[in-house]
Amino acid sequence: MAWYKVADAANLSTSFLMKVTAGGKQLCLVKADEKLYAVSATCPHAGADLSKGRCEEGKLVCPFHRYKYNLSTGRGDLGQNDFIRTYAVEQRDDGIYVEIKSFFENFRNRF
């Protein structure tokens, strides 16, 4: 596993939703209700860029068809039967870091 710096500490004072790259992956970095989240940036429904969506009551709302994904668990709303990946995110003195696990680490954790 590896931690990647994705934003400077200067971004920490307000709520935001932005697209970042870490370990070759496109992610949404979100600060909402004083909490940080990192989730995949591609909507599983039809591929929209979720960083162009909005946050609403702990969920990320897709800009295309308004599917909703829980920012903590990645689960889609009831009836969607889909999810987005979530990533560990940490605020450190010099910025925000996201943990990206290798394919094998993710595979091993499933069994």
Residues in the site for ligand FES, rule: CB under 6 A?
43, 45-46, 48, 62, 64-65, 67
| Nearest CA among 78, 6, 67 for reference residue 36 | 6
Query: Which H or E run includes 105?
Result: helix 103-109
Please, which residue, 40 or 97, has the CB nearer to ligand FES? 40
Residue closer to ligand FES by CB (options 5, 65) is 65
- Residues 6 or more apart in contact with residue 55 via CB below 8 angstroms: 15, 17, 30, 32, 61, 71
* Shortest Å distance, C-beta 51 to ligand FES: 12
Nearer to ligand FES, 18 or 48 (CB): 48
Closest separation in Å from C-beta 66 to ligand FES: 6
Q: How far is the CB of 56 from ligand FES (least distance, A)?
A: 14
Q: What is the three-class DSSP state of 99?
A: strand
